[in-house]
Every structure is written in C-alpha cells, then in structure tokens.
Structure 1
Amino acid sequence: MISGVIMGDMTVGLAVGATLQLMVLGVSTYGGASMPDFMTGAIIGTVYAVISGKGVQFAIGLAVPVGLLMVQLDVLARFTNTIFQHRMDKFINENNPDAAARNALWGTFSWGLSRAIPVFILLVVGNDVVKAILAIIPEWLTDGLKVSGHILPIVGIAILLRYLPTKRFISYLAIGFIAAAYLKIPMLGVALLGAALAYIHYQNEIEKLDAKPVNSENTDENGEYTNAEGEYEN
C-alpha cells in the first residue's frame, strides 16, 4: 500500500501485495529457513507496474524472480547477523544486558540493509532507465510474466491446503469455492461466510463436549478419559 501511495497508484500496490501474499500463506521462515522475499518483490513490482502501465499481473510476474533473488541476500543477512548473535551471548555471559540489548538492535540493520539496498538501487537508476529496460524486453517475455502472475497465487493456495486438514473440512472448502466461483460473492463476503461456518463448527464441538457424560471412574489422575479396560480414548 505504501509503495502504491508513493508511486501514485495505491490500488496497484494493494493488488500486487495481496496477490503475492496468497503465494506465501502456507510458507514461513521457521528456524533458519529462507523463503522468497515477496515483500521486496512487491515493492519493485509495484514500481515497474505503475511506470510501465502494464498492469498488476505483469508486476506480479516480475516480483517473483526478484523475490527468489532476495533469498540469496536473506542468507547473507542471516550470516551477518550471527556476528551480533555471538556478541550477545558473550555479553550475557559477562552479565552485561545493556551491551547485549545494543547488539540485538544492531542486528536489525543487517536485515534492513539486505532489503533496502536493492530497492535503493532501483530508485537511483530512475524512471528513464526503467523505461529503457522495459522497451528492450520482448513482448513474449512480458506476456509470459503475466501468465505466471495468474498461476502463482494458485500454487500458494495449494501449498496452504497441504498443511490444513482439508479432507476433514472438504464440505466447507466446497461451500467457499461455490460462493466465490459460481455465486460471484466478493472476497469479503466469502471471508464472512467462512467466519460464520467456523463459528457454527465451534458451537457444534462445544455441544459435543457438553453432551459427553463425565464419569470419574473412567478418568485417570490427569482427568483424561479411559474406557472400561483402562485404554485412553480420543
């Protein structure tokens, strides 16, 4: 949104950012894992989309390789950040919490610069260079980027579905698909429908728990239910 405001087209910024977010809903940087930095890709994609006037899908297709390239800089930022991590351990062992806190703050600069420098370089080259690059890019490449921009959000949703209990809630998935694809309900309406279905499911689960008889003879010392043979029940 901020990139869109700066470039004078907040709608494009929101559309690019929201679509890229769909691609990474099922992905996160747990532990030391690195993932494509689509936030930086969204910034650069928004700039190119507004300058070129080629639309949101072109920006999304362009943001993907940028996000993949940023994986390498993410690894470099993590490597640099370990310097501050070790310094924090040293100061903690020396019972110097103020110095440890300062190093924790300094460690954020490695992350910030790994994102700020590529964006800064793009801004330094200016609109004329960007337009010249776009003029050189062949039409088949820009069309390919637009096609990939349509496909990639679907890949993100597919990744998300792999981590969710889809088989258990397949009926809810079907209702949402019918509402969006056939009834043409706006996304906000689909979200509200999902919230209502989630609340209904929650109420049903609460009723099941309330209806389940409690027998102190069939519980262990931790209060978990067991059957007549003493085996634990789900």
Structure 2
Amino acid sequence: MMNAIMVAIIMYLAKFFDWGYLNLQLRPIILGPMVGLVLGDLTQGILIGASIEAVFMGTFSVGGSVPSDIAAGAVLGTAFGILTGKGVALAVPVGLLTTLLFNLVVLGFNFLVDFEDRSVAKHKDSRFNQAHIFAMVVYPIPFAIMAFIAIYAGVGPIESFMNNLPAQVMQMLNVMSQMLPALGMAILTKSMWDKEVIPFFFIGFTLAAYLGLNTMAIAIIGAAIAVYFIMNDFKHRKEMASLKSQRVVATASANEDMSNEMEDFLS
C-alpha cells in the first residue's frame, strides 16, 4: 500500500510539472532515482532511470503529438523493475499504453479550452486563471490513480507472469532491453543528424570500440570539445560585432565629413 501511494505521488508530481507548471518535463534520469528512493533501492533507481533515459533520449512531445508517455514509462517502468527485479523491459510498453490514457484525459479537458477562450474574449482574467489552475491540479490525478492501481494490484500478477516465462523468452527480453538504449540513441541521432556531426560520430565510435573508453570518459571529452567550440564561436561573434560597430562609426564619420564639406561649399 505504501509503495503504491509513494509511486502515485511521484506520478502526480511528474504530470503536474510536465503539463501544468512551467512545462518542465521531468526526465527518466530524474524520476528513476526518485522512485528508487521511495522504494528503498536508490542504486537500482539510478541505474534503471539512466537506462530508461537512454531508451527515450530521442523521444519528445511536439504540441499535442505524444509518441510515448515518457513520465509514465519512467515511473512505472522503474517501479516494476525494482519490485520485480526485471529491469527496463517494461518501460517502453508501459509508456505506449499510458499514451492511450493521455489521449482520453486530454479529450476530457477539451471543454476548458472553449471556456478559457470565452474568458479571454470577455476580458475576465480571473476566470481564465481559475480554469488554468483547475487544469493544473486535476490533470495529474487520473495518472496518479493509474499508478496506484498498477503498483498495488499489478506487481504480484506481473511478477508471477515473468517468473513463469520460459528461460529462452527471458533471455530474449534481456537482450531486447540491452538493445533499447541503442534504439534511443538511433532516434536521437536521426533527429539531429547533419553532415557537420559526422566526424564526431566516428570519433566517438573509435573511442568506444577501439580505445575501450567508457561512456563517462567519452562524455567528458565531448563536453570539453563542445565548450571549446562554444567559446570559439562566442569569440568570433564578439569580433564580428566589434568590426560591425567600427564600420558603423566609420560610416557615420564619413557622412559627417561629407556633410561638413557640403556646408563649407555652400557657404
């Protein structure tokens, strides 16, 4: 009961910040440790959260398009992973299934859009603010209820089902869960792919495949390169701005000299 309540609270906070407050999306790398902390296994929460973050790294919502419910997948995937000991294999299907609930909840809140439009048209700011606050507070509740029911009633059947699976199926699921981070990286790479990043792609591949560097070492090298390019670009922009300013001053000075010469000629 207590585990279900704590997971439901985290789900509520994730949805509240995601849709209602500053549109701040809590990523799996943050939600995983939070779930692990309340379930008494912070280490597994960090590890599973990082693995789920790698899966959903290239997934993001654009407007009303929600390819997968990342917050629900992170919260429930981490919770089930810790409670059943089966890792991240459940995160992706949970995220996809929760997208259906998201569509139903948003459909139910469509009446508020018309109400808020009419409030703005009538210059009734207080009514608009009240409706918005109502949506912020109420919207996460269905997801919190879903999380509570899933954890309270679903862990036992899911754990029994997973334990009764043949060894070959479990091995396949483990292999698939290990491949999911590669899928997340592929989606991310596809969304940002450009000819200018090709050299860095092969540099990272060489560092990992041939020099045996781990992810942290490669990340530090990549961050250092990024800082170098940012500083260099900043210096270049500063020089260009200074040059432009000098040209403006020179042009203004030339125009002033020409004006003075014209006045002297006319006088």
Q: What corresponds to 1:17 in structure 2? A: 49
* Contact 2:80–2:155, Cα closer than 8 Å, also in 1: no
Q: What corresponds to 2:178 in structure 1? A: 150
Give TM-score scaled by structure 1 length. Answer: 0.77
Moved over 4 A (4+): 126-130, 203-211, 213-216
* Contact 1:29–1:35, Cα closer than 8 Å, also in 2: yes
CA positional deviation for 1:177: 2.4
Query: Are residues 1:30 and 2:58 paired?
Result: no
* Contact 2:59–2:68, Cα closer than 8 Å, also in 1: no
* Contact 2:84–2:159, Cα closer than 8 Å, also in 1: yes
Give TM-score scaled by structure 2 length. Answer: 0.68
Taking the aligned partners of 1:163 and 1:34, their CA distance within structure 2 comes to 16
Q: SS of 2:60's equivalent?
A: coil
For structure 1, list consecutive stretches of 5 or more residues without a partner in the other structure: 217-234
Q: What corresponds to 1:47 in structure 2? A: 79
Taking the aligned partners of 1:111 and 1:146, their CA distance within structure 2 comes to 35
CA positional deviation for 1:69: 0.5
Query: Are residues 1:168 and 2:196 paired?
Result: yes
Q: CA RMSD of the aligned region, Å?
A: 2.8
Taking the aligned partners of 2:147 and 2:155, their CA distance within structure 1 comes to 13
Taking the aligned partners of 2:163 and 2:230, their CA distance within structure 1 comes to 55
CA positional deviation for 1:100: 0.9
Residues 129/78 of structure 1: CA separation in 2 closer, same or farther (3 Å cut): same
The percentage of counterpart residues that share the same residue type is 27
Taking the aligned partners of 2:83 and 2:64, their CA distance within structure 1 comes to 36
Q: What corresponds to 1:123 in structure 2? A: 151
* Contact 2:48–2:81, Cα closer than 8 Å, also in 1: no
For structure 2, list consecutive stretches of 5 or more residues without a partner in the other structure: 1-32, 248-267
Taking the aligned partners of 1:169 and 1:129, their CA distance within structure 2 comes to 46
Which of 94, 99, 102 aligns to 1:66? It is 94
How many residue pairs end up in the alignment? 213
CA deviation profile, 1:69-107 (whole Å, cap 9, x unmatched) = 011111112212222222211222222212211211221
Q: What corresponds to 1:220 in structure 2? A: none
Q: SS of 1:32's equivalent?
A: coil
